[in-house]
Amino acid sequence: MFELDIEMLKEQGLQLMDSAKKTAQDLADKGKNKLDLLNQQARLSKAQRQLGALVYSLHKAGEENPALVEKYIDAVAEVEKAIEDIKANMTEDERAEVEAQEAAEAAAEEPAVDKTADEEIEEEPIQLRGETKICPVCKSEVDGDALFCNHCGAQL
């Protein structure tokens, strides 16, 4: 008959519990990284869209506002940096998963472009979304997603 070594079993049990805890923690971190990444990617596309809309509307109006454009470029660069930081914190597997997802999304966008080539080209691709808000500084009406006021450059 084996003699049960209670102490050893206890020890092993504790180790198992520790590793279970650690795995749960890893999973939580993993989920958080992906969530942070999604949030930052949403912020990035929003900032890029705003930058594009700004440049477009300035160009259309024959105006220039390099200071405001610069603010958006800085905002985009900041979010890009945050995304790089999050990716740097990810494991190889996570990064591979995220990058595969990005590649799949990029590939999925291609047919849509080909499809619209046959159809009538949409006149206003950078039309701002309906939602607007009021700049607290100069009271101008600005796009709901705007990061900065188009008129006074205040951060919103």
Q: Which residues bind Zn ion (CB under 5 A)?
A: 135, 137-138, 140, 149, 151-152, 154
Tell me whether residue 53 or residue 83 sits nearer to Zn ion (CB atom).
53
Tell me whether residue 79 or residue 135 sits nearer to Zn ion (CB atom).
135
Quote the least distance from Cβ 61 to Zn ion, whole Å.
Answer: 17
Tell me whether residue 42 or residue 137 sits nearer to Zn ion (CB atom).
137
Pair of tokens at residue 64: 């220039």
First to last CA, the chain: 75
Quote the least distance from Cβ 153 to Zn ion, whole Å.
Answer: 7
Quote the least distance from Cβ 31 to Zn ion, whole Å.
Answer: 38
